[in-house]
Amino acid sequence: MAQSVLSIAEQSEGKFRKVTYESLSEGRRIADQMGCELAVLVLGNTIEDISKELGQFGADRILLADDPSLVEYLPDAYANVVADVINTETPDVVILGASTQGKDIAARLSARLNAPLAMDCVAVRFENNELTATRSMFGGKILADVVFEGTPQILAIRPNSSMIAKADKSGSIEKIQVDTGTTAVKFIEKQLETGKVELTEADIVVSGGRGMGGPDFSALEELAKLLNGAVGASRSAVDEGWRSAADQVGQTGKVVSPNLYIACGISGAIQHLAGMSSSKVIVAINKDSDAPIFSKADYGIEGDLFEIVPLISEEIKKLNG
Amino acid sequence: MKGKVKKVEIVVLLKQVPATESLIGIAGDGISIKTDDIKWVINPYDEFAVEEALRIKEAHGGSVSILSVGSERSVEAIRTALAMGADKGILIDAPAGIVYDGLTTAKVLSTALKEIPFDVIIAGQRAVDDDNFQVGPATAEFLGIPHISMVIKQEIADGRMTCHRTVEGGTVVLQTPLPALFTTQRGINEPRYASLPGIMKAKKKPIDMKNASDIGLDPDTLGKPLMKIVSLKTPAERKRGIMIDGETAQEKAANLVKILHEEVKAL
Ligand SMILES: Cc1cc2nc3c(=O)[nH]c(=O)nc-3n(C[C@H](O)[C@H](O)[C@H](O)COP(=O)(O)OP(=O)(O)OC[C@H]3O[C@@H](n4cnc5c(N)ncnc54)[C@H](O)[C@@H]3O)c2cc1C
Ligand SMILES: Nc1ncnc2c1ncn2[C@@H]1O[C@H](COP(=O)(O)O)[C@@H](O)[C@H]1O
């Protein structure tokens, strides 16, 4: 049986998202275990140059849906093109990043192809000739192992959960015929903050809560900048209007899994933990030694964040020379 | 609907879920959760959906229907939405013994929606129990209508809806003709509380109870779920770690950075 794995890349403004490399690496590991080929599909406009590097992350074939109509992400156009490719390629496994766009495409495809979907997976393994995905449920209170019935098995993997691995493959480029089909959704405009590290992809996140006492997050911004990290916030800080809702970490905000999460002036409510408890290392800075966050943190500092955070920044500057 | 301002028929897809502060335990079968001690609420993202539906109705006229697939217990959640101001509820009873995955739920919802008039369908971006992010877009796909997800602002005019959706690093504005479905994101609104008169009125509002066969679905052909849970576990409990010592704040900061750099290699 000729099997294959198809990974779907995601690029924005001519740059691949980090989760593209993660899903490609994960796809390579699955393809190796299945003993089959890995293809990657890139959608966009004038994407050939940036796509060449994908061979280094394990792609045997690089399929380009290169067309002016795909310059911006449109849910219906993208779903139509991806579904066409899947119908031609008939992969057994489709793997993509569970970004805003990836989740959208995955959900739409599962319905169109009547295919099983494991959304926002934190781990994938191939055992006894079968894929098992682990996904987090109930805001991270439960981890579920799931198996799939039918093909293609669609896996959307959570950003920052898979290792990026280099695997030099041929990465032959193939241009595919693009037909966006019938579409209704139109692009009007976008506003992107350039130069800002995306919260869900950041290796380091520095978050502030009600303990910030006001909208001045400059101490956290400085620390995040030194660490090439992103700034997050608790819901209270968002409710107060100190930060935008896009910065909220938690059950009704973003779920982040950075290497290092630094919680400043955050008490550690269960809804906040739901968004950050899968971080590898957690540091809490709080002036209340009884704050519940300390019972979930690997390292804690009892003290005033306005005193501690700038001192941490100073120490890091010393470290960086 | 061309040109003229028109009333908007809105359907909210609403799921009842455990309150986020509920303790979640694994049941004896190892693949489901204990339901005895759970407090049930409207999925927070669906609460945003109800609120947004009411605001659309207030601006354009029309009606707000609540559609849910679940057990009889879900009546409570529908009643709360009616108390907030929705006009009617429809509950499709999930037959006992059949496990609905996201795709099956979307099939049931889209079948029910063939009998319900709508211009706009609003769903949550995700239900905070299964965290699937799937049912909204899948329902739109089954209905053959466009969808826009993660919406923080919408505007309806001339039979079209313009939506601001949050993406990594910013917002994108998309436009679609109606009928269409959109999913909610935090930031779209602050849901109102049900007022006392609202609660009184809700008692008289209709809730249609149906089962799969009433809407023309054969429970047998609904099929087996395509995604099956084989085991559940609770993640390793995070333990209380180390409190960083130091005579002064300066010393504490230095010690922390030293540990993070030398031992943990996180810096
Ligand atoms: C349905 C639902 C969904 C929710 N979703 C979310 C969510 O997604 N994300 C989220 O975060 N919350 C969420 N919440 C809210 C959550 O329950 C808490 O209310 C919230 O997380 C508390 O935020 P906080 O820790 O910033 O504030 P507080 O609990 O008020 O804690 C502030 C902390 O700052 C400390 N502090 C004060 N001053 C200083 C100082 N100078 N230096 C150091 N420490 C200081 C205090 O000791 C205290 O521990 C949700 C709630 C519900 C009901
Ligand atoms: N059983 C259900 N009944 C009605 N709506 C549902 C149901 N399950 C999910 N939904 C809708 O789909 C959204 C996303 O759910 P999910 O895909 O399960 O994360 C929810 O916020 C609801 O709007």
Rounded CA separation A27/A16 (Å): 16
Residues spanned by CATH 3.40.50.1220 within chain A?
A: 199-319
Beta pairing partners, A46: none
Do both B125 and B178 map to the same domain? yes
Q: What is the DSSP letter of A296?
A: T
| Paired tokens of A149 | 């019935």
Judge whether A150 and B226 are in contact, CB under 8 Å.
yes
Q: Distance between alpha carbon B24 and the CA centroid of its chain, in Å?
A: 19
Q: In which residue ranges of chain B is pLDDT below 50?
A: 1-3
Burial B49-79 (b: 16+ CB within 10 A, else e): bbbbbbbbbeebebbbbbbbbbeeebbebbb
**Does an H or E element contain A82, and which?**
helix A75-89
Rounded CA separation A266/A250 (Å): 12
Do both B152 and B266 map to the same domain? no
Task: Give the mean pLDDT of A270-298.
Answer: 96
| Paired tokens of A257 | 């899994």
Do both B192 and B121 map to the same domain? yes
**Set of chain A residues whose Cβ sits within 8 Å of the Cβ of B250:** 311
Rounded CA separation B15/B128 (Å): 10
- Which residue's entry shows tokens 């060449």? A52
- Decide whether any atom of ligand 1 lies within 6 Å of the A240 Cβ: no
Does residue B228 sit within a domain?
Answer: no
Judge whether A119 and A156 are in contact, CB under 8 Å.
yes
**Set of chain B residues whose Cβ sits within 8 Å of the Cβ of A17:** 168
**Does an H or E element contain B90, and which?**
strand B88-93
Rounded CA separation A118/A155 (Å): 5
Total count of domains within chain B? 2
Does residue B136 sit within a domain?
Answer: yes
Rounded CA separation A188/A176 (Å): 27
In this structure, the strands spanning B62-70 and B160-167 are unpaired
- CATH code of B68's domain: 3.40.50.620
Tell me, which fold does domain A199-319 have in CATH?
Rossmann fold (3.40.50)
The pLDDT value given to residue A63: 98
Say yes or no for a CB contact (<8 Å) between B147 and A75: yes
Do both B245 and B124 map to the same domain? no
Say yes or no for a CB contact (<8 Å) between A201 and B170: no
Does residue B249 sit within a domain?
Answer: yes
**Does an H or E element contain A25, and which?**
helix A18-34
Give the angle B153-B159-B161 at the CA atoms, nearest 5°. Answer: 15
Give the angle A229-A214-A287 at the CA atoms, nearest 5°. Answer: 75
User: CB distance from A107 to chain B under 8 Å?
Assistant: yes
What was the ipTM of the complex prediction?
0.95
Portion of chain A with pLDDT greater than 90, in percent: 95
Rounded CA separation A285/B101 (Å): 41
Do both B161 and B210 map to the same domain? yes
Q: How many residues does chain B have?
A: 267
Do both B53 and B169 map to the same domain? yes
User: B145, B157, B190: which is closest to B60 by C-alpha?
Assistant: B157
pLDDT digits (tens, 9 = 90+) for A79-136: 999 999 999 999 999 999 999 999 999 999 999 999 999 999 999 999 989 999 999 9
Judge whether A184 and B146 are in contact, CB under 8 Å.
yes
pLDDT digits (tens, 9 = 90+) for B26-66: 999 999 999 988 999 999 999 999 999 999 999 999 999 99
Does residue B41 sit within a domain?
Answer: yes
- Residues A4-175, CATH architecture: 3-Layer(aba) Sandwich (3.40)
Question: CB neighbours (10 Å) of residue A288?
Answer: 12
Judge whether A132 and A124 are in contact, CB under 8 Å.
yes
| Paired tokens of A302 | 């009892």
Q: How many residues does chain A have?
A: 321
Residues spanned by CATH 3.40.50.620 within chain A?
A: 4-175
Q: Is the pLDDT of residue A267 over 80?
A: yes
Please give the model's pTM, rounded to 2 decimal places: 0.95
Q: Is the dihedral of CA A75, A78, A80, A86 positive or negative?
A: negative
| Ligand 2 site residues, Cβ closer than 6 angstroms | B 13-15, 43, 45-46, 68-70, 102, 105, 109, 123-124, 126-127, 130-136
Do both B136 and B198 map to the same domain? yes
Say yes or no for a CB contact (<8 Å) between B226 and A115: yes
Do both B206 and B243 map to the same domain? no
| Paired tokens of A69 | 């109509």
| Paired tokens of B242 | 């180390």
Judge whether A42 and A55 are in contact, CB under 8 Å.
no
Domain encompassing residue B255: 237-267
Q: Is the pLDDT of residue A222 over 70?
A: yes
Do both B241 and B163 map to the same domain? no
| Paired tokens of A206 | 């520095």
Task: Give the mean pLDDT of A16-25.
Answer: 97
The pLDDT value given to residue B2: 44
Does residue B13 sit within a domain?
Answer: yes
Q: Is the peptide bond before A152 cis (omega within 30 degrees of 0)?
A: yes
User: CB distance from A315 to chain B under 8 Å?
Assistant: yes
Do both B87 and B182 map to the same domain? yes
**Does an H or E element contain A78, and which?**
helix A75-89
Rounded CA separation A107/A119 (Å): 8
Do both B95 and B166 map to the same domain? yes
SS3 B135: helix
The pLDDT value given to residue B97: 65
Q: Is the pLDDT of residue A52 over 60?
A: yes
B105, B111, B130, B186, best to mutate for ligand 2 pocket (most atoms within 8 Å of CB): B105
Q: How many CA atoms lie within 13 A of A22 on its CB side?
A: 23
Say yes or no for a CB contact (<8 Å) between A75 and B142: no
Q: Distance between alpha carbon A143 and the CA centroid of its chain, in Å?
A: 18
In this structure, the strands spanning B207-211 and B88-93 are parallel
The shortest CB-CB distance from B267 to any of A75, A108, A316 is to A316
Mutation pick from B13, B131, B164, B230 vs chain A, by most beta carbons of A within 10 Å, is B131
Does residue B227 sit within a domain?
Answer: no
**Set of chain B residues whose Cβ sits within 8 Å of the Cβ of A136:** 131, 235
